[in-house]
Amino acid sequence: MPTSSNIPKRIVIIGGPGTGKSTLITELEQKGHNCMHEISRAVTLQAQKEGIDQLFLTDPILFSQKLLEGRLQQFHDARNFFGNFLFYDRGLPDVPIYMDYLGTEYPEHFSDTCQTHKYDHVFLLPPWEEIYVQDNERYESFEIATVLYSFLKKGYESFGYAPIEVPKGPVGERITFIETTLKTPL
């Protein structure tokens, strides 16, 4: 098991819905990088099995609490990985940022958790209409996805991060950009 001094750097990939985060994470993993996958679809699908069509819309606090707990576990799971980097498909701050977007009040521990559990670097994927697809779990329009991008950028900045925007392009070029950026002192 890695010691605290050799826990991989925690790298978060963020962006509005449909920006290619999950595709990027899958490709990073196929290249041999350690990755943590997005959990919101799993939370949504579990709720659907329990008869709640869109838990995020029905009970945003419960949905967000489940996301926060899952992402916090992923954060702590870094101690079980070896290597230089551990990539995350979304991070803890996404939870209160989405609540802010909705204008929904949430418990103070949401923000406190984000302040006490910091990632090493954040990469931001911009809205990209050409690849955007709505489906049963992604109900937002492209216009909403664009607004969410702005909330994510400002929200992560408010938590003290300086998100690095990843240029649009084929997934291989995006990975090269991220790998090159991580090799350069930040």
Q: Which CATH number fits domain 18-183: 3.40.50.2300, 3.40.190.10, 3.40.50.300, 1.10.10.10?
A: 3.40.50.300
Burial 142-160 (b: 16+ CB within 10 A, else e): eeebbebbebbbebbeebe
Distances in Å between the Cα of 48 and the Cα atoms of 12, 44, 176 are: 27, 6, 37
Closest CA to 88 of 35, 159, 152: 35
Q: Report the DSSP beta bridge partners of residue 121.
A: 11
**pTM given for the model:** 0.88
Per-residue pLDDT of the chain (186 residues; tens, 9 = 90+): 544 568 999 999 999 888 889 899 999 999 999 999 999 878 888 888 888 777 767 788 888 998 999 999 999 999 999 999 999 999 999 999 999 998 999 999 999 999 999 999 999 999 887 876 766 555 677 788 899 999 999 999 999 999 999 999 999 999 999 999 999 655
- 């679809």: which residue's tokens? 41
Domain spans in the chain, listed from the N-terminal domain onward: 18-183
Alpha-carbon gap, residue 105 to 91, rounded angstroms: 19
- Which 3 state secondary structure label does DSSP give 90? coil
Spacing of C-alpha 78 from chain mean position = 15
